[in-house]
Amino acid sequence: MTDDYAERLRRNRAEKDDFFADHPQSPIPPEARDSFDGLAYFDPDPTYRVEATVTRHDDPAPVELETTDGRVVRYLHVVTFAFDLHDEAATLQGYRQAGDEPGQLFVPFRDKTTGQQTYKQGRYIELEHDGELSDGDNVTLDFNLAYAPFCAYSDTFSCPLPPEDNWLDVAVKAGERTA
């Protein structure tokens, strides 16, 4: 990881903190914004930027993901990412909703930090890729960009929960944390 990457990541985090502190659409309740002094993050760590091999699902299966408020939302399971993280083989499923652009992927996950150092319901990574991914493509999964959904900050939001297929057996000490 270059110093430039770490600095860009720090700037992006500062921009997000500014949004959470001041923007009318912030998930931080208005009465808590004056005391909000920024989100907690793990330090940038290059070992959490991993190369993943894509398996594309040409006929994506619909998947219903439960949400934090008990509703169900429907996604399409479009890809599977296979990668190694700290010498452990792992996979994550990538989803998109009908009508989303082909290159937009949603990757919700849980790991061994969930509920201890990170939000109790899991975190998300979003990937943007030009066009459709193909079998065998390699993409970078950057867990330094992992974030807690808005429902971590306010019960007024409903957020998809990571399905069991996306529960990792390793601790991902990267991205947003709770403390």
Per the domain annotation, does 3 fall within a domain? Answer: no
Per the domain annotation, does 11 fall within a domain? Answer: no
pLDDT of 1: 56
Confidence at 104, pLDDT banded by 50, 70, 90: confident
Number of structural domains (the chain) is 1
Instruction: Give the neighbor-by-neighbor strand order of the sheet with 49-66.
Output: 123-128, 104-109, 88-96, 72-85, 49-66, 138-142
Cα torsion at 127, 26, 16, 158 (round to 10°)?
Answer: -30
Identify the domain containing residue 58 by its residue range: 42-177
Distance (Å) of CA 26 to CA 1, 2, 23, 33, 167: 30, 31, 5, 9, 28
Per the domain annotation, does 14 fall within a domain? Answer: no
Per the domain annotation, does 131 fall within a domain? Answer: yes
Mean pLDDT value of segment 93-109: 89
Per the domain annotation, does 151 fall within a domain? Answer: yes
Instruction: Give the percent of the chain with pLDDT over 70.
Output: 99
Q: Which residues contact 56 (CB under 8 A, 6 or more apart)?
A: 78, 79, 132, 133, 134, 135, 137
User: Residue 175 has what DSSP assignment?
Assistant: S
Cα torsion at 68, 72, 75, 77 (round to 10°)?
Answer: 80
Mean pLDDT value of segment 27-37: 92
User: What is the largest distance, in Å, between two alpha-carbon atoms of the chain?
Assistant: 49
pLDDT of 160: 97
Per the domain annotation, does 6 fall within a domain? Answer: no
pTM of this structure? 0.92
For 117-157, the pLDDT digits (tens) are 999 999 999 998 887 888 999 999 999 999 999 999 999 99
Per the domain annotation, does 98 fall within a domain? Answer: yes
